[in-house]
A and B are shown apart, each in its own frame.
Chain A
Amino acid sequence: MEQAPPDPERRLQPAPLEPLGHPDAGLEAVVGEEVEGARDEGSGDGTMTENNFWLKKIEISVSEAEKRTGRNAMNMQETYTAYLIETRSVEHIDGQSVLTDSLWRRYSEFELLRNYLLVYYPHVVVPPLPEKRAEFVWHKLSADNMDPDFVERRRIGLENFLLRVASHPILCRDKIFYLFLTQEGNWKETVNETGFQLKADSRLKALNATFRVKNPDKRFTELKHYSDELQSVISHLLRVRARVADRLYGVYKVHGNYGRVFSEWSAIEKEMGDGLQSAGHHMDVYASSIDDILEDEEHYADQLKEYLFYAEALRAVCRKHELMQYDLEMAAQDLASKKQQCEELATGTVRTFSLKGMTTKLFGQETPEQREARIKVLEEQINEGEQQLKSKNLEGREFVKNAWADIERFKEQKNRDLKEALISYAVMQISMCKKGIQVWTNAKECFSKM
């Protein structure tokens, strides 16, 4: 089981370039897309800047998406989308950025990377990927994965994911992550060679631990509840928002019909004609304005969705804690029972039921030599067990400490990001109102001139 600090072999090769600057500076999206939240990462936070995230300043961007066809594992032809990842190093002196790496990845490779990070950094709240399939769609949005709007939003989401990983104090140092950005061929094999899939805890084991653990840290229990609530409320909000968007779309678009009819009507009217015609034009403007409005709202929805998926990442950390705690409890229990057995053998009293005890009773006592041997074995086991328990305890405490530190970091990030998102939503609404006032004022003028 791996904990922080990460395995030395996975640490980044020190690069011969200048030392780290402020993480923010290196994290610009080249294409000028807004990256929700990641920009605020570490701003003004002294401890983070000291941690030297990258050993060189870099810019990461997912700049393009392309449809590809290829053969899948079962040798059947499939269509998928590939994304171009460009990494630039920012030269300190003249501020120019130089393209250092550029490669294509598909969504499944991102998934592989994330699964790897989940296994090797169980104490970290690992940033989520954008959704695999479009959910919470309102009617106009296509749920088709090949739809260009969906692909575009996914591109932004993937870029956001990479930026979040790159700005995470621990994850950014990972070699596999580095290779993901720099080594196109063979990367999958390299990841698989780490054997991380084997190290992963089985779902069953985790589930078992969750039910049976007796004394988990209360904070993690609360965190689990919190993440359940977060997931539930954001889902609810996204569903309602989608329905509201649908209705709003209807209201705006129906007004477009006025435009057409007014135009036709104006043909038979002498005095009213001009007024009708120009009013109709404004109705068309009004009707088409909803498209941009809802596109912006979709970005807002994506920001919320990220935190919807973060809830699962939180739960993963909680599960790990429960697993470790359960393991610890089992080890302690096992040790206790062995000690007891030993004691019984030494004193000759049988307080606990055991098969050996039964057979002894039935078939006669064992010889003193046999008993001595057994006591010896048990004593060895007890020793070993005590060592193990000590180290598990240590591991457990380390885990809790590190996990909790990351959770605190996450909480601050979440509060910042969500606040910003909500405020930007309010600004969007106000802007929508202003547009409305403008259009209808124009229309009113036309009507009053009829």
Chain B
Amino acid sequence: MDGERRASQALSSGLPEGGAGGESPGDGGPVPGSSGSSALLQAEVLDLDEDEDDLEVFSKDASLMDMNSFSPMMPTSPLSMINQVKFEDEPDLKDLFITVDEPESHVTTVETFITYRIITKTSRGEFDSSEFEVRRRYQDFLWLKGKLEDAHPTLIIPPLPEKFIVKGMVERFNDDFIETRRKALQKFLNRIADHPTLTFNEDFKVFLTAQTWELSSHKKQGPGLLSRMGQTVRAVAWSMRGVKSRPEEFMEMNNFIEMFSQKINLIDKISQRIYKEEREYFDEMKEYGPVHILWSATEEDLVDTLKSVASCVDKCCKATEKRMSGLSEALLPVVHEYVLYSEILMGVMKRRDQIQAELDSKVEALTSKKADTDLLTEEIGKLEDKVECANNALKADWERWKQNMQNDIKSAFTDMAEENIHYYEQGARGSCLTWNSQIPVL
């Protein structure tokens, strides 16, 4: 069951869609040949649209895979395993496998924090080795995300799990929180790995491979704090100007993003609420079965009947528990990730608008002949290129994102429906079996 679910997750997230490799300045070169082969890949993938095929493919390699072992000897993350297996015919395409595990608490005089073990397996030439094992803390992930956003302002960078969960948290480091975070961090890294552009980002490579001290010194390079602050101020200034000349397609995109954000947030709330109600139902049911057993102690003639009812209730209880865990594993994380994505999308939109605003202001300056025309014209030329690149990058990434989103949402809800079907089947079957002898009609 688990494998199947993750298989469908991987299906959706692991596809580098055909799209022009976003060549943004400062990136580590375009991705050679990726467009061509990914088109081929798409065809492959579309054929495998039945769950059974995934299952078959998966189970072939089940013997190789030990879900619980995290030995560095083979790709152990089911996610990455499925990715590998899916692209069986073209093993070269998926060449980066990442797992995040083994949270460990570190206590210093100043603070307490958690590090996670990151294992990377790769066959890429530009990596010095085929396996890497490093430890990273949440701060490091934040750093990576920041660098990616800087390098690719109009690409849709995957979301990181939140810093804190506001409500219901007593302690920052309780087990559920850590486990949820671990899974989300793993998702984050794999989404980057599957992104046609981001996967070749230099900072990403350093993140995956550098030892702790190496990372620290690498972090210190690059634009300093002051220049970053300057950027932020300029960004705020541009955004204040408003969006006057946003192209039509981006207006549409923006509308979609706003609606989507609203809806996905509602769905997140609804799903969390359902989980809560199910939990409370489960708590009450736990008491329900035993009451019947208690009663059977005083009723000689009804003992069998009462015990049967109790047994059915208990079975229902167990099935509820399973349904809850299915919900929390399949649906809730996906919905929540897209809640975070909706915020990211709004940020991407803003940055695109900023880049355009920069151009617009220079053009305005030119027309009002306020400064040196030659210099301005040169600058405008560069900015026009920048805007065009940014827009194209976003457009391509947007299509890719939408496709992934549809697949992810579809999977998640299909899984939820499956869980519910299973839950009711358990109930019906269990009851029938229990009552078989006593109700001839059944």
Binding site for B on A (CB under 8 A): 226, 229-230, 233-234, 236-237, 240-241, 243-244, 246-248, 250-251, 254-255, 257-258, 261, 264-265, 267-269, 271-272, 275, 279, 415, 418-419, 422-423, 425-427, 429-430, 432-434, 436-437, 440-441, 443-444, 447-448, 450
Contact = CB atoms under 8 A, between A and B. Distances in A.
Contacts of A254: 270, 273-274, 277
Interface of B: 255-256, 259-260, 263, 266-267, 270, 273-274, 277-278, 280-281, 284-285, 287-288, 291-292, 294-295, 298-299, 301-302, 305-306, 308-309, 312, 316, 406, 409-410, 413-414, 417-418, 420-421, 423-425, 427-428, 431-432, 434-435, 438-439, 442
A427 to B, nearest CB: 7
Contact of B414 (A272, A423, A447): A447
A422 B256 contact: no
SS of B interface (majority): helix
Given A264-B263, A440-B420, A423 B277 contact: no
17 contacts: A230-B298, A233-B298, A246-B284, A247-B281, A258-B267, A258-B270, A261-B266, A261-B267, A265-B260, A268-B259, A272-B410, A422-B306, A423-B305, A432-B427, A436-B423, A436-B427, A443-B417
B413 A279 contact: yes
Nearest to A260: B266
Contacts of A419: 301-302, 305
A234 B291 CA distance: 9
Given A240-B287, A429-B427, A448-B410, 12 more contacts: A234-B295, A236-B294, A250-B281, A257-B266, A419-B301, A422-B309, A423-B305, A426-B431, A429-B312, A429-B431, A441-B417, A444-B418
Contacts of A429: 312, 316, 427, 431
B223 to A, nearest CB: 38
A450 B409 contact: yes
B78 to A, nearest CB: 22
A447 B410 contact: yes
A241 B434 CA distance: 21
B435 A423 contact: yes
Given A423-B439, A440-B421, A272 B406 contact: yes
Nearest to B270: A257
A230 B270 CA distance: 41
A-B residue pairs, 5 tightest by C-beta: A444-B417, A436-B424, A247-B281, A433-B428, A433-B427
A181 B441 CA distance: 38
A430 B432 CA distance: 8
Summarize A's interface: helix, strand, loop or mixed. helix
B407 to A, nearest CB: 9
Contacts of A261: 263, 266-267, 270
A434 B298 CA distance: 33
Contact of B291 (A233, A248, A447): A233
A441 B409 CA distance: 17
Given A236-B294, A251-B274, A444 B414 contact: yes
Contacts of B305: 418-419, 422-423
A276 to B, nearest CB: 9
Nearest to A448: B414
A440 B420 CA distance: 7
A147 B281 CA distance: 27
Contacts of B277: 247, 250-251, 254
Contact of A437 (B263, B428, B438): B428
Given A243-B284, A265-B263, A450-B406, A444 B295 contact: no
A378 to B, nearest CB: 50
Contacts of B410: 272, 275, 447-448, 450
Contacts of B259: 265, 267-268
Nearest to B301: A415
A222 to B, nearest CB: 11
B424 A418 contact: no
B291 A425 contact: no
Contact of A268 (B260, B266, B434): B260
Given A425-B309, A427-B439, A444-B421, A255 B274 contact: yes
A433 B301 CA distance: 28
B288 A240 contact: yes
B291 to A, nearest CB: 5
A236 B435 contact: no
A77 to B, nearest CB: 43
B431 A247 contact: no
Contacts of B309: 422, 425-426
Contact of A447 (B266, B312, B413): B413
Nearest to A424: B439
B413 A437 contact: no
B281 A422 contact: no
Contacts of A450: 406, 409-410, 413
Contacts of B428: 430, 433-434, 437
A425 B316 CA distance: 14
A237 B310 CA distance: 12
A272 B305 CA distance: 48
A423 B306 CA distance: 9
Given A268-B259, A430-B431, A440 B424 contact: yes
A294 to B, nearest CB: 13
Contact of A271 (B281, B406, B417, B438): B406
Given A268-B256, A272-B409, A441 B421 contact: yes
B286 to A, nearest CB: 10
Contacts of A268: 255-256, 259-260
A264 B420 CA distance: 24
B411 to A, nearest CB: 9
Contacts of B438: 423
A406 B104 CA distance: 72
Contacts of B308: 422, 426
B425 A433 contact: yes
B279 to A, nearest CB: 9
A418 B260 contact: no
Nearest to B50: A448
Nearest to A437: B424
A233 B294 contact: yes
Contacts of B423: 436
A244 B284 contact: yes
Contacts of A258: 267, 270
A226 to B, nearest CB: 6
A429 B266 CA distance: 31
A433 B284 contact: no
A244 B270 contact: no
A433 to B, nearest CB: 4
A436 B274 CA distance: 16
A251 B278 contact: yes
Given A247-B281, A450-B410, A437 B417 contact: no
A303 to B, nearest CB: 13
Contacts of B427: 429-430, 432-433, 436
Contacts of B432: 430
Nearest to B442: A430
A218 to B, nearest CB: 17
A254 B256 CA distance: 26
Contacts of A448: 410, 414
B288 A244 contact: yes
A236 B288 CA distance: 9
Nearest to B414: A447
Contacts of B294: 233, 236
A419 B292 CA distance: 13
Contacts of A436: 420-421, 423-424, 427
